[in-house]
Amino acid sequence: MFELTIALKYLVPRKRSLSTTLISAMSILVISLVVWLVLVFLSVTAGIEKNWIKKLTSLHAPIRLSPTQDYYNSYFYQIDALTAASHYTYKTIGEKYESQISDPFFPDVDAELPPYLPPADRLNNGMIRDPVKDAIRSLTMLQKEIPSLSFQDYEIGGALMHLFLTSSSSSLSQMSYLLSIPDQNPYFHDLCLPPAEGPLDFDLPPEIPPPYIYFVQKKLQIPDLGPEIPAILPKNYKDSGAKFGDRGTLSYTTPSAGSTQEQRLPFRVAGFYDPGILSVGNKCILVPQEVSRDIYGSTQTFSPDGTPTNGIFVWINELSKAEEISKKITLLLEEAGISSYWKVTTYEKFEFAKDLLQQFRSDRTLLLLIAVIILMVACCNIISLLVLLVNDKKKEIAILQSMGASFKSIAAIFGFCGIAMGVISCLLGSLLAVFTLHNLDSLVSFLSKIQGRAAFNPAFFGNSLPNQLSWEAFLFVLIATPILSLLAGLIPAIKASRIRPSSSLRSE
C-alpha cells in the first residue's frame, strides 16, 4: 500500500500536458456516449419486450390448463355422448363443472354401454373421479395462498361473421374465432378501448346501463341487448370503420340426423379490445360464454396455431413467477390424482407465443453482444491514453523502480487509471441516459416531424415508447464498463512494468 501511494505521488502530475488532457477528456466522452447509447437502447428494447409479453398474457393468461388426450379418451368425457341426461352431446369444461352429477349414466333410461368405452376412474368409495371439479378445487386452494391469482374456463369456436358498417353502408365478412369473454380476467380492463359515446368506467352502477361493455370499479359488466349478442371486436375492425352499435350475424353449422343446418346468431358491437401484436388476435371475437359453449359443442373447431380450444386460463400478477406457480399447480393436480388429465403450460410454451419469445431471447443475446463489442471499441481509447502517459513518464517510472517500487505497484497505477476512467464514464453516461429516457417522447416527436410520419409504428411499439431505465441494463453497464476499462489498462500497465531503469535513465 505504501509503494502504491509513493507511485501515485510521482506518476500523477500536478500539471498535465495539453495533449494528455485532451485525450483523457475525449476518451471519457467517447465511453460516456457509448454507455448512454447502450443504456437507452437496451432500456427501450427491454420495455418493448415487457409490453409485448404483457399484452400477450393479458388476454390468454400466463398459465393455461388444457385437457390431455387421456381426458378425451376417458369414461368421464365419453359418457356424455351416450346418455340422455347430457342430451347425447359432449360437454365443455365449464358445463362439466356446473353439472350437478359427475356420472350422467342411468341404466333405467340409457342404453347398454358399448364394450369399447373405457372403464370409469373411480375413487375408493366407488364414486367416479371428477377431474374438472377436482382441478377447480385445487386452483381454489391455491387462490387462498396467492390472493392475486384468478382463473376461468374458456372455449374457442368458429363462425362466419357478417358485419354491417353503418359508417360506409358496406359490410365485412370474415371467418372468425370466437373466444368466451374473460370476465374474471383482472387485466381485461386495460385491453378495452373507451367508447366515444360515453365513459368506460363507473364508480357506481349507472341508472340506465349503456348499450356497450363497461366497468364498475374495474368489474366487467356485459350489457343486455335482448335477442342480440354483445360482441367485443379487435381494434383493427374499428380502424376499418366499425363503430359501437354496428350489427351483424354469426353463422355456423350444426349436425342433424341426416344433414347439417346453418345457424345464424344476430350480434351487436358492444366494445373493442387491443389484441396486441398477434395476427390470430385480429380474428378473435369475444362473445358471452354461453354462446361460445353452444358453438363449441356444435362444431369442433381446430385452432390454426394448435392452441387448445377448451381449457382453463390462470392469471397472476407477476410473470416472473409463472413457472414456479405452474409447478405448484402440477403438484396439486398430482395430489388430487388427476395430473394425467391435465397439461399445465406457461406462456413461454404457448403455441402462438413460443416462436416470438424465442426471437426475443435471440435478439436480447445479440443486442448484448453488440453492446459488449461497442464498449470494447470505446474502451480502446484508454489504451491510447495510457500508452501516451507511459511514454511521457518513463523517467518517473525508472526513478520509482530504482527506489524499490515493485512491478506490480507500477502496473496497478495504470490499471487503476483505466478503472477510474471507466467508472467516471459509466456515471456520466448513466445520467445522460436517465435524462434522455425522461424526455423520450419529445425526442420521438422530433424524429417523427423530421421524417413526416410516425417514427415508430404504434401497432408494434404502442402509442409511446417505454421510458423506464432497465435495471438489468444498468447493472450490465455498471459491471461491464469498469471490467473492460481494466482490461484496456492492462496493456499499458504491462508495458510500464517492463521499463528498465538503466536503459530509461541512460536515454534521458
Give pLDDT tens digits for 136-160: 999 999 999 999 999 999 988 888 8
Beta bridge mates, 176: 159
Name which of 167-181, 379-393, 489-503 the model is least confident about: 489-503
Going by their DSSP bridges, the two strands 260-273 and 247-255 should be labelled as antiparallel
C-alpha cell read off for 122: 373411480
Going by their DSSP bridges, the two strands 247-255 and 150-165 should be labelled as antiparallel
User: Within 10 A of 355 (CB to CB), how many other CB atoms are there?
Assistant: 11
Among candidate residues 140, 136, 181, the one with its CA nearest the CA of residue 312: 136
**3-state DSSP call for residue 409?**
helix
Integer CA distances (angstroms), 403 to 55, 118, 395, 399, 501, in order: 68, 93, 12, 6, 10
Residue 401 CA from chain centroid, whole number: 59
The conformation of residue 120, written as its DSSP 8-state character, comes to: P
- Cα angle: 198, vertex 204, 205; to 5 degrees: 70
Residue 402: the pLDDT is 65
Residue 435, pLDDT above cutoff 80: yes
Q: Does residue 292 contact residue 155 with C-beta atoms inside 8 Å?
A: yes
Residue 51, pLDDT above cutoff 70: yes
Residue 10, pLDDT above cutoff 50: no
CA distance 233 to 237: 7
What sections of 61-157 are H helices per DSSP?
A: 69-72, 75-78, 93-98, 131-145
Spell out the domain ranges in the chain.
Answer: 2-56+357-507, 155-302
What sections of 196-351 are H helices per DSSP?
A: 235-239, 289-298, 322-336
CA distance 31 to 378: 5
pLDDT band of 461, cuts 50, 70, 90: low
Q: Average model confidence (pLDDT) for the chain? A: 81
Of 142 and 175, the structure prediction assigns the larger pLDDT to 142
- Residue-wise pLDDT for 342-373, tens only, equals 999 998 887 767 777 777 777 778 878 888 88
C-alpha cell read off for 275: 389484441
- Looking at residues 458-468, what average pLDDT do you find? 69
- Looking at residues 29-40, what average pLDDT do you find? 85
Residue 302: the pLDDT is 63
Among candidate residues 309, 323, 319, the one with its CA nearest the CA of residue 352: 309
pTM score, whole prediction: 0.77
Residue 132, pLDDT above cutoff 80: yes
